[in-house]
Amino acid sequence: MTDDPNPSSAETRTESFDSAVATRRGDDGTTGLLYGGPRIAKDDPRAEAYGSLDEAVAALGIARAELNLKRQYGTLSSGLRGLDELILRLQRELFVAAAELATNPDAWDRLTDGTTRVSAEMVSGLEGVLSDMESHITMPREFVVPGETRTSAAIELARVTVRRAERRAVGIGREGLIPGPNLLPYLNRLADLLWVLARAAEQAEARSATPSRPERRRGGAATRRTEPT
């Protein structure tokens, strides 16, 4: 590779750069928060937390796209009907949780429950869905390995990403940087629900979750371990 014969050409290209998305304000490694205020580093725990929620939204998008594809080709089983609407609801709720994490303390008085701050009703709503879903599935009796179906695997990816956001949020809360009392319970409950939804998605397609331990043989017959030892 040869040196640029015109050292100022890179600067010229940068100056002429035009984009509706790239603002250049983050080139110094900082990012802005909701309602303005002091910018924070992109590796700030708050940015890590709401960035993880953004990842979870994307993972749920994969699951929803898979369900829509099944509907398009007429292969959507009856047990999966309505799951895409529920997933879309959860995606939208994650934007609420992210907004709460992405607001500086001096703007907390501008947050509103259910729109930019997690509400108690959002938590109880998850609990209602969780209770209903648990009554319709067979619970595995040990840890499971994701991957039985594309839909369930995407939901599992969202689940572990929510757990990461929850871990970040615990530290943030310890620093007094979470404005409301419902964010941590919401994330905890959501991760639980996503685990159940993954199992429901598998069972709706007549698949069983793969246990984390391999089959073992008893008396010459192959059997699966179904309970922890």
Q: Out of 3.30.465.10, 1.10.10.10, 1.20.1200.10, 2.60.120.10, which CATH number does the structure's domain 41-207 have?
A: 1.20.1200.10
Q: Delimit the domains of the chain by residue range.
A: 41-207
Please give the average per-residue pLDDT across 205-214, as a whole number: 82
pLDDT in tens, 21-77: 767 766 767 777 788 888 888 889 999 999 999 999 999 999 999 998 888 878 888
| 201 touches 151 (CB < 8 A) | yes
For the chain, give percent helix, strand, coil, nearest 5: 55, 10, 35
Written as six digits, the tokens of 152 are 């369930």
Q: Is the pTM of this model over 0.75?
A: yes
| 130 touches 193 (CB < 8 A) | yes
Written as six digits, the tokens of 179 are 């404005």
| 67 touches 80 (CB < 8 A) | yes
C-alpha atoms less than 13 angstroms from C-alpha of 45 in its C-beta half-sphere:
14
